[in-house]
Chains A and B, each alone.
Chain A
Amino acid sequence: MVIITLVFCQVPMGDIRQSLLPRDVLSAAKELLYHLDIYICNLVQSGRQPPQVDAKTLELVEEFILHAPKDRNTPGRRMSALQELQLLEIMCSCFQEQSRDTVRQLMFSALFSLQGNQADESRMALLGKLVSMAVAVGRNPILECAATWLQRTHRVYCVRLAQVLVDDYCSMVPGSVPTLQNIHGASPRFCCQFITAVTTLYDLTSEELTPPLELLQMIVSWIQDDPRLVLITFLNTPLSGSQPISSLDITPLGGLMRWCVKAPLAYRREKKQALTNGSAENEQEAGPLLSALHLSVLQVFMLLPNILNEKGLFGRLALLQLESLAALTSDLSRLLDQADKHTHTSSADTQALSQLTLDRLAQALQVAMANGALLCSREDLRAICSRLPHNNLLQLVLSGPVMYYNNIHTPPLAFSPHAAHSPIASHPTHPAHTPHTPLATHPSSHPQYPGQPFITGMPFPFRPSH
């Protein structure tokens, strides 16, 4: 066996082509997979660093597995759907049976990392089916590989993969949401990346880009069960600073925050359309879900200081980007403008929803800043939020501690260290539970809690001059 593989190792993969050509589509693909497996094993064993699959092999994959037309004259062979299913099945077991993680990753990337050529389309299609199938039959290794893939790939393609899964499990096949829900247990990394991709995809700008209720429910339940889920990628990734350009955010926090903030407006719009259809259940169900989600997001923010401190990144790594925030606020101001215009007799309902949106924004900003997720000055924030309508809470957040702590050189915003460990238990009057009332416990607006302990000696994120 060893001899054979050694011998094979010397044979370039390119020579296999002649033997593959006469085969039928499926067996050629099978054989190539087999050879690929052996080839990669050898590659890993050879210890060459970094292990690199050569271009010839990638071409073979494109020709015999993805069936990209090699040139214009010969029409590419196509597999029937049944053959494709067989191939997927074989792939599933292939990844399942491969015990070495490195080999799996290499193989996965040999098959599915995008090459920027015309094979990418079929690559994406096959990947979508493979992942979907892996979700259904619980092939965790594949999901792990896919999680890595999601980290390395341009966000446009990541979003497409997420879209396939959402389509398959949330809309096409009724009653299959539980299957997708299982991925939380199967591969938290994949789950986290999936959430990031989904929040990137559904930016609530239009009806199509509003997440389906099932998806929302699923995500909320995931995060409620385990708020650290959203940080898993962040936690597991060595911060080499070599994030591929335009890949997904490292956490879904920004996207989730966007959901929470924009949702009241977005779902109201949907409700308006739904009213003509005679069902307004979406909004009623989505409301509490989003409240819960908002709470969870805030909780996750509050988890951050410890983690960042552990990694020594507090104040140095911004998990929320100021640019995306700027996009969010400008979007928001446009939406609110529209809402005002559309409802001339701006009903109390509309007003309340707008205020809720702004409240959530203010809360999120405040908590994010306080916990080091957002690194910017209040001036920056004011610039970003300048076009938003008036909101008391937001006003407070924007004016910040300057009003009250003008001369005090202590950080105005901080939570007791124990709060990070059990945030819900220690904050009985947390705003998320009563979103319509201003934050009663907001330290900056309530000087009657002067005894609240602050962490001293901590870098003050919004006061770099200090």
Chain B
Amino acid sequence: MSVVFDGSPLKAMQSSHTHSPHTAPSAQELSQEIKSFISGVDTVQGRKLSVREHARCAVRLLRSVPACRGAVLEHLRGVYDEHVSAFLHNLETEGNGGSGVSSNLEDIIQEVHGVLSEFIRLNPRAWAPLVSSWAVDLLGQLSSKHAGRRVAPHSSSLNELLQLWMSCAATRSLMEAYSQCLAAMLAWCPDACVDALLDTSVQHSPHFDWVVAHIGSAFPGTIISRVLACGLKDFCSHGAKDQGLMVMGLEKGNRVPKIGSVVGILGHLAAHHSDSIRKELLRMFQESLSPSSPLSPTSSSTSWESSPQLRRAAVPFLLQLAAMSPNLFGAVSAELVELLRPPVLLQLQALLQGLPREELDNMLGLAVHLISQSPSGGARVLRFLADTATPASVIISGPTPSPHEGVREGCDRLLQMLLLHLHKLVFNRSDGVEGNPHHSASSQPQRVILFLEELQSHVGELCAETLRLERKRHLWLHQLLCLLSIYGGPSVATEALCQLLTQARNPEELALAWQLHTTLSSCMAGLIPTAVTRCVAQIHTHTLGPRQLRQLLLNLAAAIQSQDEERRGSASAQSSMATQLGSAVSVHLHDFGPLLLHGDPAVSHATVRLLSCSPLPRTFCPAHLLLLSRAAVTHFFQALRRRGEAGKVGKDGGQAGEAVNCSVLLLSRLAVYSPLTLKAVLQQLVEGALHKGNTDLFGGQIADMSGAPVPSPSVTPDVGASLLDINCRFGTTVNFSGSVWSVFHAGVIGKGLKVRSDIQLPDPSGVIQNIQTILAVVVQCCSSSGLNGSMNGSRPASDPDEPLPINAEAAKVVAITLVESVCPDVANGELSWPPEEHARTTVERDIHIRRWFEAHPVIFPLLQVVAAGRPALCYCSAVLRGLLATLLAHWEASREMSSTDSPWHLQASCLLVSCMGEGQLLPPVLANVHEAFPHLTPFEVRLLLLAVWEYVRGNGPMPQKFVFSSEKGLFCRDFSRDGDVARYVAPIHSVLHKNIDRLGHLCWRFQL
């Protein structure tokens, strides 16, 4: 575009110029020329001059009579105007920009342009100011005069406007002339030409904008800084009062301050040169602060830095600018905060101290307004403010060194004003439209508070900051969180609450969440359930790390537990909130269930704590319930194991112990919840206790469980026989030595007994503790009122010291599970016992059963529990029979002198008999025989056990034989209905006789 006039027309003009001295017009001719020019009539020939002739005449005068300069330029305005009119008319009539009328004047315009540009080139100092103001003024006039034309695009479509005007020779020529002037003038007085540009822009805005945009993009660097400098000067001379009024929407007087057009121009340039604009603005800020030093040659010819008044006005000016143009503000705000380091702040304070109070307030208000409307960087601004305003402290040393006290107070004030302002905005806003923020945003766009909009995505960080509980800071932030939640509606409120719940680390911090809720609960309903739902969603999406997860769970638990405390104390809103929270959590219990088995002990611990204290829901999907109970039981065993490990390592097992306690509590609560859960829990407890993996917890030995040898290679030498090897070889060779036939459960035939893999025995005290624990759980489960309530509604009120009786039904569950675990073959089998001789047929099975008893010491205590829940022990009869059969075999085969020489068998025998007695499978006389066992020889023990067998064979262990005695609240067996006990007692008596010297004190136990 810009090359058009640099070509031939100019050369033509120059050549004509070089000719001119030869034909220099005489004074007389000039006089005639002037007359012609004035009158528009050729004085020699007496005819009227055409437009082009007139223009030529004018150009000649321009070249020869300096005094005519003004008049000629004025006349040329008309010529340019005419050309523009013709051009536009042509466009309107023909549509395709034809040659027609417009080309008529184009040559004369080129001629004028040539002359002017030659003049400017030859003597820029003289001509550039003149031509630039003329061109700018004319451009302004032309563009606003013809703005209403049909072909002229609307002033808002800058690009089309630019295209139109740049295709018109007249305006293009003016534009180029102006550019030339500007290029020339930049060297020595750039302010003047930019001033003119601004004045015209003010006068002809918005039609003139295309000019500014074009010039601005041609000289971005200079225009931007000049425009700013001019604006600053104007601002300074107008004083801040006018500006203040203008922000309020009032425009005072007819003199519009230049700042409007400054904003407009910069706004246009921002599209392509936002970077340089930002730099320029920031530079202005910095230079206004830096102490006035004469040694700043960097300041490029601008003069405002040197005037203290202008420097003082720079900051208010920039604020004003930002207030008027969101674009500019957005460009600057982000980096501005970075710039505000302590030294800068001190300078700023020093600068602002000089301002009068009223002006300061004004600025403060403006700054608050700006911050609240800043579309981005709000979080950074906030952090900066909070950092700076937080009082210096010995304890908390922030990332930045503590600023000067005055600066801090200033920031403090600013922050409080900001909060107040936001408060007003938020509450004024929400009284119109409640709830849906999107809806309100669309219907009332002016209600959008950009600062809060932006902060909505930083709720998490805000919460974290708040929870640091630093002095005043958390108060501010908490207030802000409230505002934000109210502004953003339930989603943000939920988010905030959820974040607080996740991030709080102690009761004080957690209290913040309750404060927030208290504030919000008045205007938002159902906050807690949604918050909990959100937390659960977070758990599901695995967005939380183990620590956070644990913290969240602990916080929830703590919150729910606080309910109990407050129930005792004042029943406030807080307790109701705890209740709400409890019910909300209870809905999601099954979601928390899987966390019990979380890999991180801390998490599972937290989970169990939460679950143990949260109320159970009224209704529960059975599937969920089963899953939960399974998880709970599994966790119980894990907790036991952890406790054991913690004890072993020697560290404080408090947490592990507490986890076990919680787990116990949870299990017992689950058991109480419904028959289904009770059953499931018991079943799983028993199965778990007997499970291979858990045997060691209860002193069991896993290695002997199966018939196949599981030697650990390092300890046992390889016996050289492997079932797998043999099977592989089976088809090819027949080798009976060491073949499958010779592999027996006790070892390989010919190689002696299988070496017992020695397992390090678990810590006996730990084992005892574990056994106690599981017994306690089982007892608690069995004795809880779940089944009792349903079965025997009228249970006599027992005093609280006396332990509750074991529930029969629950005991039955334990019994059945026990049988199924120990020997599935006999489950649901015949309860009655065959004759003793028949035991030979079930040797294998009996050994299996005995091994179970050997491997799982915990079975005996469980059996005792079962026995207490009469008549449940009947269901264990097969197992009891198997054990008794092996014991009989052992005692028969034993050649020891005393029964005490085989301690396990002795113990097993004693326990078995006492269990059966407790379970009323035996009458008391028979049940007491175990007391004599330690004093007898193995054979005598066998005799006594045989008597037991005989009795049970004779009087089968049938549940039907038990009747419920309502006064005891128990089932009891009436032995008198059975056959005569006396004949079974005879062997006892003979054994007593034989050993009367040692058993005399026991005689009374066996009296019928």
Contacts and interface: CB of A to CB of B under 8 A. Distances in A.
Interface in B24-83: 24, 26-28, 30-31, 34-35, 37-38, 62-71, 73-75
Contacts of B37: 85
B74 A136 contact: no
A138 B67 CA distance: 13
Contacts of A54: none
Interface string A128-144: 01101100111000000
B70 A85 contact: yes
A81 B66 contact: no
A81, A133, A136, A179 — which one has the most chain B CB atoms within 10 A of its CB?
A: A136
B188 to A, nearest CB: 11
A82 B34 contact: no
A174 B30 contact: no
A168 B71 contact: no
A265 to B, nearest CB: 23
A176 interface: yes
B73 A81 contact: yes
B764 to A, nearest CB: 103
A178 B123 contact: no
A157 B498 CA distance: 84
Pick from B26, B35, B67 the residue with the most CB of A within 10 Å: B67
Contacts of A80: 74
Contacts of B119: 172-174
Contacts of B74: 80-82
A167 interface: yes
A169 interface: yes
B64 A172 contact: no
Contact of B64 (A81, A88, A171, A179): A179
Nearest to A131: B67
B71 A84 contact: yes
A24 interface: no
B897 interface: no
A89 interface: yes
Contacts of B34: 85, 89, 133, 137
A206 to B, nearest CB: 14
A172 B70 contact: no
Given A137-B31, A171-B123, A81 B63 contact: no
A138 B62 CA distance: 17
Given A169-B66, A173-B63, A82 B71 contact: yes
A321 interface: no
A392 interface: no
Contact of B38 (A82, A171, A173): A82
B396 interface: no
Kindly name the residue among B21, B24, B31, B62 whose own CB sees the greatest number of chain A CB atoms within 10 A: B31
Interface string B84-124: 00000000000000000000000000000000001100110
B123 A175 contact: no
A175 B67 contact: no
Interface string A383-426: 00000000000000000000000000000000000000000000
Given A85-B70, A174-B119, A136 B65 contact: yes
Contacts of A173: 62-64, 66, 119
Nearest to B118: A174
A86 interface: yes
Given A81-B74, A82-B74, A174 B66 contact: no
Contact of B71 (A85, A169, A175): A85
A137 B27 contact: yes
Interface string A119-156: 00000000001101100111000000000000000000
Given A85-B34, A137-B27, A176 B66 contact: yes
Interface SS of chain A: helix
Nearest to B26: A138
A176 B20 CA distance: 10
A178 B27 CA distance: 12
Contacts of B123: 171-172, 174
B248 interface: no
Nearest to B29: A137
A342 to B, nearest CB: 20
B17 interface: yes
A178 B24 contact: yes
Contact of A172 (B21, B73, B75, B126): B126
Nearest to B78: A82
B637 to A, nearest CB: 93
B975 interface: no
Nearest to A165: B66
B127 interface: yes
A171 B126 CA distance: 7
Contact of A81 (B20, B30, B70, B122): B70
Contact of A85 (B27, B31, B63, B68): B68
Contacts of A171: 123, 125-126
Interface string B304-340: 0000000000000000000000000000000000000
B38 A137 contact: no
Contacts of A133: 34, 65, 67-68
Contacts of B70: 81, 84-85
Interface string B1-34: 0000000000000000100110010111011001
A136 B71 contact: no
Contacts of B24: 178-179
B149 to A, nearest CB: 26
A178 B21 CA distance: 9
Nearest to B35: A89
Nearest to A86: B38
Contact of B122 (A89, A92, A130, A174): A174
A178 B38 CA distance: 25
A136 B64 CA distance: 8
A132 to B, nearest CB: 4
A174 B64 contact: no
A72 B34 CA distance: 35
B64 A138 contact: no
Contacts of B62: 173
A138 B35 CA distance: 15
Contacts of B30: 136-137
Interface in A265-292: none
A329 to B, nearest CB: 32
Contacts of B63: 173, 175-176
Interface string A157-197: 00000000001110111111011001000000000000000
A88 B17 CA distance: 27
Contacts of A169: 66
Contacts of B21: 175, 178
Contacts of B64: 136, 173, 176, 179
Q: Which of B65, B122, B127 has the most CB of A within 10 A?
A: B65
Nearest to B71: A85
Contacts of B118: 174
A175 B126 contact: no
A92 B68 CA distance: 13
A172 B27 contact: no
A179 B125 CA distance: 22
A176 B64 CA distance: 6
A81 B27 CA distance: 21
A174 B21 CA distance: 10
Contacts of A168: 66-67
Interface in B607-640: none
A167 B127 CA distance: 10
A35 to B, nearest CB: 22
B27 A138 contact: yes
B216 to A, nearest CB: 29
Nearest to A172: B126
Nearest to B21: A175
7 contacts: A130-B67, A136-B67, A137-B34, A138-B31, A168-B67, A175-B21, A175-B63
Given A84-B71, A133-B67, A179-B24, 4 more contacts: A85-B70, A136-B66, A176-B64, A182-B27
Give the 4 A-B CB pairs with smallest separation, nearest first. A138-B27, A168-B66, A81-B70, A85-B71
